[in-house]
Amino acid sequence: MADKAKFITDLNARYTPKGESIILGKGILDGEVVPEVNVTIPLKTINRHGLIAGATGTGKTKTVQVFVEQLSHAGVPSLVLDIKGDFSGIAEPGRRNAIIDERYGKTLLNWQAQSFPVELMSISGERGVKLRATVTEFGPVLLSKILDLNDTQSSIMSIVFKYCDDKGLPLIDLDDLKKVLQYVTDNPQGKADLSNNYGSISPASLGAILRSIVALEQQGAALFFGEPSFDVEDLLQQRDGKGVVNILRVGNIQSKPQLFSTFMLSLFAEIYMTFPEEGDAGKPKLVLFIDEAHLIFKEASKTLLNQIETMVKLIRSKGVGIYFITQIPGDVPENVLSQLGLKIQHALRGFTAKDRKEIDKAVENYPITEFYNAGQLIQNLGIGEAFVTALDEKGIPTPLVHTYLISPESRMDVLTDAEVADLTSRSALVAKYEQTVNKDSAYEMLTSRMEQAVKNAPPEVPKTTRKPKEEPGMFESVMNSRAGRTFTSTLAREGAKFVLGMLGLGGRRR
């Protein structure tokens, strides 16, 4: 039996911050809840990122819900990427039941059913705030990453953007970009203008770029590119003193990997370039929760992993915390895992030799403890229990503590369709971004120019001397080809590449 008095003294010394904090639960020793030990996390260290891991069915989603609720109570807004679609119930009050009564009888804490302010968001046309960005805001470098272009094709994209800048052709949506490519490929005036002033460009390379754009469109990107652009400052709302919980529903991520990467690239780049440096703030400005994080790291190259590590290091200075939710810590690369200050580990199951190796690896990443046999206990944690280690206010890792987690105060279930409709109908942000703005841009301007050129063309030669009908241009050939129509299926098989979108460090040009 461990020394209970020493356990209380040692844990309270490290889990009692002087500044603002959030509570996750109570300490457990020898299988019994110790209500004298509050497991609290300083708000000032939340931007040092974290990991929430555990096998399926061990309570990770409910832990995220508790975490987000506590942040909201402290006035900190969050953005949750809800891949499984089971998080929206936070917008409605929970219901007391026997399990909650038992849990709070042991913790000696008060439980109060309540809802939290929520904004539902979408990048694929579902109900909610429509997240959009313009092609110009992405710029040639970031757009080339999304389209998975090679170095030569990326250089051509830069030339096309330069051409549009010089000619005053706004690139708002993908129709604009396709129209420009058509103009400089199949139109004699456009081809000559581009060749004389910017250099010759291979039609094959332009065709490859066009096919990539078509593939992106077929995943629904036409809904994402456009105006009005989403302002990331709108993620920082409070209502009645509570931080707003922004929920991005991306349940179809696996079937639309490029579209998801487009959003991630836009979001992270915009946050990094827009938010000011925070210094040593008392609490974070925004916290991001990325569910199913293994989808990000599954097939990442060494270069990409370096970019992820760089992003995790840099964005904390903006007062932003990033939390990865996955099944095993081994899903997250070592260099990234070492940057995560808070770790909440639910139970792991050792069914196979590989599973047992992952358990050993997970235990090695936690501080040594005299109160638990971590390697054995990690396989026997109950639902709603977890190992926790964090950073104290001085940035020093806290002792590993077996934690009896508190319950969510909001509904632990999804919203009904009627509730989603009601929530979105009352949202000022939904109204702000609902209607697209279709200004005159490159598509309209070049269409007008090409129509005018047809009107000003010399009369058609007599039928007897008419030239043979021309073959369709490269643009039309690509648009009508089988490759152009089915290119998405190829990209779907390469879905893991979507992670390239997450880590662009560029920003929008406003």
Going residue by residue through the chain, which has 510 residues, state the pLDDT in tens, using 9 for 90 and above: 678 999 999 999 999 999 999 999 999 999 999 999 999 999 999 999 999 999 988 999 999 999 999 999 999 999 998 877 788 999 999 999 999 999 999 999 999 999 999 999 988 778 899 988 889 888 888 788 778 788 899 899 999 999 999 989 999 999 999 999 888 888 888 888 888 888 878 888 888 898 999 888 887 788 888 888 899 999 999 999 999 999 998 766 666 666 666 677 677 778 888 899 987 778 999 999 988 777 767 655 565 566 677 778 888 899 999 999 998 888 888 888 888 999 999 999 878 888 888 888 888 888 888 999 998 999 999 999 999 999 999 999 999 999 999 999 999 999 999 999 999 999 999 999 988 776 667 777 777 766 665 556 555 555 444 444 444 554 445 445 444 444 333 333 333 333 334 434 444 444
Tokens of 232: 């990331």
DSSP secondary-structure letter at 1? -
Say how far apart CA 302 and CA 279 lie, in whole Å: 30
Say how far apart CA 126 and CA 71 lie, in whole Å: 27
**What values do phi and psi take at 80, rounded to 5?**
-110, 120
- Residue 400 and residue 372 in contact, taking contact as beta carbons nearer than 8 Å: yes
Query: Would you list the DSSP string of 446-491?
Result: HHHHHHHHHHTSPPPPPGGGPPPPPPPPHHHHHHHSHHHHHHHHHH
- Residue 177 and residue 135 in contact, taking contact as beta carbons nearer than 8 Å: yes
Q: Compute and round to an integer the Cα radius of gyration of the chain.
A: 27
Confidence (pLDDT) at 425: 95
3-state class (DSSP) for residue 12: helix
Q: Which residue is associated with the tokens 């009904």?
A: 416
**Containing H/E element for 40?**
strand 32-42
Calculate the alpha carbon distances from 267 to 192, 212, 261, 275 in Å: 38, 21, 10, 12
Residues 6+ apart with CB under 8 A from 488: 215, 218, 219
Angle at 181 between CA 176 and CA 185, to 5 degrees: 150
Which amino acid does the sequence have at 123?
I
Of the CA atoms within 13 Å of residue 41, those in its CB half-sphere come to 32
Q: Which residue is associated with the tokens 């500044």?
A: 19
- Residue 311 and residue 270 in contact, taking contact as beta carbons nearer than 8 Å: no
Confidence (pLDDT) at 252: 65
Residues 6+ apart with CB under 8 A from 76: 43, 46, 243, 283, 284, 285, 286, 287
Burial of 440 (0-12, 13-18, 19+ CB in 10 A): exposed
- Residue 386 and residue 344 in contact, taking contact as beta carbons nearer than 8 Å: yes
Confidence (pLDDT) at 460: 53
Confidence (pLDDT) at 299: 54
Q: Which residue is associated with the tokens 């991306």?
A: 250
Sheet order of strands, 78-82 included? 32-42, 21-29, 401-405, 385-389, 342-345, 50-53, 320-326, 286-290, 78-82, 245-249, 118-122, 129-130
Query: Would you list the DSSP string of 318-366?
Result: GTEEEEEEES-GGGS-HHHHTT--EEEE------SHHHHHHHHHHHHTS
Whether this prediction's pTM lies above 0.85 is answered by no
Say how far apart CA 148 and CA 209 lie, in whole Å: 9
**Containing H/E element for 51?**
strand 50-53
How do 286-290 and 245-249 pair as beta strands? unpaired
Say how far apart CA 277 and CA 281 lie, in whole Å: 10
**DSSP H helical segments within 147-199, as ranges?**
151-167, 174-186, 188-198
Confidence (pLDDT) at 497: 38
Confidence (pLDDT) at 33: 96
DSSP secondary-structure letter at 219? T
Tokens of 1: 């039996």
For residue 458, cis peptide bond before it (omega within 30 degrees of 0)? no
CB-CB neighbours of 465 under 10 Å:
6
Chain centroid offset of residue 64 CA: 15
SS (H, E, C) 88-156: HHHHCECCCCHHHHHHHHHHCCCCCCCCCCEEEEECCCCCCEECCECHHHHHHHHHHHHCCCCHHHHHH
Residue 53, strand partner residues: 326, 345
User: What is the number of residues in the chain?
Assistant: 510
